[in-house]
């Protein structure tokens, strides 16, 4: 979907909306769409959520957002949204994030990651069980280990199935060291060594010298481009994690590994479950192709849909709670 002139619009799908038909919401874990928008005004019009582009040659365009089949929306540079549009999106359980150019960083402060729909009809059993686990140090450590083992297994499986030239030993080492570790500080060290090793393997695979740096503004070479893509991709991953937690009614402020002083740190823990294979390989592959940000983001969304990511993550969280 394009836009005349210099204004940037980045919806990832094209949809036809029929008038006067009341659509039903798609199950949260099955929704297909994520939007990143720049230089638009989001509003409600004729019972639909639309965005209005800035005038180009005296012409403005209304473009529909399929709110019933959307997981979250990132509102970037030069955007605004009306209260009626926020209300309509909340009715459809769409999470909203205000962000900087390109999709990061996030600015919303009601929750550390996103503005969540404030409806009263969320499940309570998962949040209650999560708090029970979180309040018990032994159970919390076991849950943290369960997260890391699952993370290593999923990443190992994905890289093997996709014929990536990544040393499988780094996943085996993560799983083994996690199993023999019995406290959170040591688990964080295990996780840090694993992440550093995976970055090195991915950089080696595409033939670049790489050091992880966040908030890199320039993208003049593949390493800088990879860092920029990682930032943008991670915030999309945080969006999926936020939607999964919101859908299950689990508070963001009960982390198991990261950010004991950050109110939304559980979002980061959950995003780590899938960033290794959703974001990282694409960031490195597309950096050496000098791909555009729009192409990278579209690939992330397409991959998440093909992997049935939300369904998989929500199922894991429910199963983890029951097993622990």
Residue with tokens 């409806």: 119
Q: What is the overall mean pLDDT for the chain?
A: 83
Same domain? 85 vs 32: yes
Answer yes or no: do 246 and 318 share one domain. Answer: yes
- Whether 111 is covered by a domain: the verdict is no
- pLDDT value, residue 105: 59
DSSP for 270-288 reads: HHHHHHHHHTHHHHHHHHT
CATH code for the domain of 69 = 3.100.10.20
Residue 107 placed within a domain: no
Residue 73 vs residue 169, higher pLDDT = 169
The more confidently predicted of residues 177 and 33 is 177
CATH code of 132's domain: 1.20.120.920
Q: Is 252 among the domain residues?
A: yes
Number of domains in the chain: 2
Q: For the segment 68-95, what is each residue's pLDDT rounded down to a tens digit?
A: 889 888 888 888 899 889 888 888 888 8
For residues 228-263, one letter each, b for 16 or more C-beta atoms within 10 angstroms of the residue's C-beta and e for the rest, the string is: bbbbbbbbbbbbbbbbbbbbbebbbebbbbbbeeeb
Write the DSSP string, 32-46.
Answer: -EEEEE-SEEEEEET
Domain boundary among 83, 98, 113: 98
> What domain range is 190 assigned to?
125-323
Task: Answer yes or no: is pLDDT of 138 > 50.
Answer: yes
* Residues 174, 89 share a domain: no
Measured CA distances, 60 to 8, 128, 263 (Å): 14, 48, 40
In a domain, 103, yes or no: no
**Beta carbons of 6 and 53 less than 8 angstroms apart:** no
């Amino acid at each position: 979907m394009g836009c005349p002139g210099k204004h940037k619009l980045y919806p990832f799908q094209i949809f036809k909306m029929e008038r006067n038909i009341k659509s039903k919401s798609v199950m949260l874990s099955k929704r297909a769409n994520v939007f990143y928008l720049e230089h638009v005004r989001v509003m409600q019009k004729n019972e639909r959520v639309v965005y209005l582009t800035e005038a180009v040659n005296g012409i403005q365009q209304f473009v529909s957002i399929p709110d019933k089949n959307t997981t979250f929306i990132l509102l970037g540079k030069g955007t605004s949204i009306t209260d009626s549009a926020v209300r309509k999106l909340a009715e459809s359980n769409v999470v909203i994030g205000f962000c900087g150019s390109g999709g990061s960083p996030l600015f919303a402060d009601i929750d550390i990651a996103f503005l969540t729909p404030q409806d009263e009809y969320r499940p309570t059993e998962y949040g209650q069980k999560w708090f029970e686990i979180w309040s018990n140090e032994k159970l919390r450590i076991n849950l943290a280990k369960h997260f890391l083992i699952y993370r290593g297994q999923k990443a190992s499986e994905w890289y093997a199935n996709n014929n990536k030239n990544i040393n499988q030993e780094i996943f085996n080492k993560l799983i083994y060291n996690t199993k023999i570790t019995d406290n959170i500080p040591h688990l964080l060290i295990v996780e840090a060594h694993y992440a550093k090793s995976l970055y090195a393997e991915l950089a080696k695979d595409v033939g670049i010298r790489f050091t992880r740096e966040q908030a890199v503004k320039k993208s003049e070479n593949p390493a800088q481009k990879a860092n920029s893509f990682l930032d943008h991709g991670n915030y999309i991953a945080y969006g999926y994690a936020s939607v999964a937690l919101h859908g299950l009614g689990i508070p963001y402020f009960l982390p198991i590994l990261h950010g004991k002083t950050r109110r939304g740190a559980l979002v980061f823990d959950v995003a780590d479950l899938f960033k290794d294979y959703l974001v990282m390989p694409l960031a490195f592959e597309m950096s050496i192709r000098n791909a555009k940000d729009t192409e990278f983001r579209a690939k992330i969304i397409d991959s998440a849909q093909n992997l049935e990511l939300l369904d998989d993550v929500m199922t894991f969280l429910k199963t983890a709670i029951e097993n622990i």
